[in-house]
Amino acid sequence: MGTETAGRTVHSAAFFDLDNTLVQGASLFHLARGLTAHGMVSKREIAGHALRQVRFRVFGEQSGLLDDVQEHALDFVKGHEVARMEKICEAVFDDYLSDKIWPGTRALSEAHLLNGKEVWLVTAAPIELAQVIARRLGLTGALGTRPESVDGRYTGRIAGALLHGPDKAHEVSRLARERGLDLAHSYAYSDSANDLPLLSLVGHPVAVNPDRALRRHARQYDWAIVDYRTTRHTRKVPVAGAAAAVGAVAAGAAAAAAHWSGDRD
């Protein structure tokens, strides 16, 4: 199913970032909780990984930190079975993530599905976790960082690149070519300026719970902005100009998110 444009059917999609866009906070934090709870890794191993992530968050891609993160991002699962990780990811969703989904963002994803669009999760998180989340939420699929494995066990290395920044845009472009998706009629949602390459790739970029740099860029280029963290949760309707079904559900999502945020406060 697609959108009719000038007598032709347009196949398009919506692409959602994960952390702070679809879920509150960092999904890897909750994955780490699950891995330690199930005895797959130790708190010391997780702590070393967390320190590397904090340095990357603070200093960005300077001084080769991205290379360091990519080289060591999955050291803590080296030697473990892929099948065990997949089972733990199911438990992580049930135990930690299911109640961390932003209601407004989930409603937007459901609205796009109802409007005939493919909906993809695009994240730097491991593909095993990304696929579980996408499946549980009824999305079309997921793109995520792929841990390398040999004979069903992780090597501790990444197969390809960490799905971050420009690499997200590259993967979405590849997916669009493979599936015949028209990116000019597609949507992308993210909270971070790191995803500007992805957001700039589509015809309808939306800043969700944006960081300062992304908010500034979105205002400069008149992009849609939604923020579920405050009572002023929307600045623009994110699906303006889309089908009525999407607009109606988005409006309901905004109201639900405002009510939910009030309960949390």
Active site residue 19: yes
β-strand 8-10 against 3-5: which pairing, if any? antiparallel
φ, ψ at 101 (rounded to 5°): -75, 130
Which position among 17, 167, 182, 195 bears the catalytic label? Answer: 17
How far the first Cα of the chain sits from its last, in Å, is 40
Interatomic CA distance for residues 235 and 80, integer angstroms: 46
Q: How far is CA 126 from the centre of its chain?
A: 11
Interatomic CA distance for residues 225 and 222, integer angstroms: 9
Active site residue 265: no
Interatomic CA distance for residues 46 and 32, integer angstroms: 7
Residues catalogued as catalytic: 17, 19
